[in-house]
Amino acid sequence: NDLSTPRPEMRFRGLQPGDRWCICALRWLEALEAGVAPPLVLEATHERALDLVPLEVLKQHAWDASPSRASP
């Protein structure tokens, strides 16, 4: 479903840049295969995601929030 479009009738403002949202590993894998995998917080990713996605692939898409990387 489209999570970027606001749905005021459901009191949902839509996701904005910088927002975090939980996504199951299977849907993330589908996004990866479509070339649109979102960055992920590796430390918040359940170890069972490794049943579907190799660790090296997850690391390639890991979001780095360190101050040296978070600001351009």
Tell me, yes or no, whether 14 lies in a domain. no
pLDDT (tens digit per residue) in 25-52 = 999 999 999 999 999 999 999 999 999 9
Per the CB < 8 A criterion, the answer to whether 26 and 52 are in contact is: yes
Instruction: Classify residue 32: in a domain, yes or no.
Output: yes
Write down the pLDDT at residue 31.
Answer: 95
pLDDT interval class at 8 (50, 70, 90): very high
Does residue 71 surpass a pLDDT of 90?
no
Q: Check pLDDT > 60 for residue 10.
A: yes
Q: 48 and 25 in contact (C-beta within 8 Å)?
A: yes
Structural domain count of the chain: 1
Boundaries of domain holding 36: 21-70
Model confidence, pTM: 0.73
Residue 2 lies inside a defined structural domain of this protein: no
Residue 59 lies in a domain: yes
Q: What is the CATH number of the domain that holds 37?
A: 1.10.1660.80
The Cα 13–Cα 10 span in angstroms is 9
| CA distance linking residue 46 with residue 25, whole number of Å | 9
- Write down the pLDDT at residue 17: 85
In a domain, residue 26? The reply is: yes
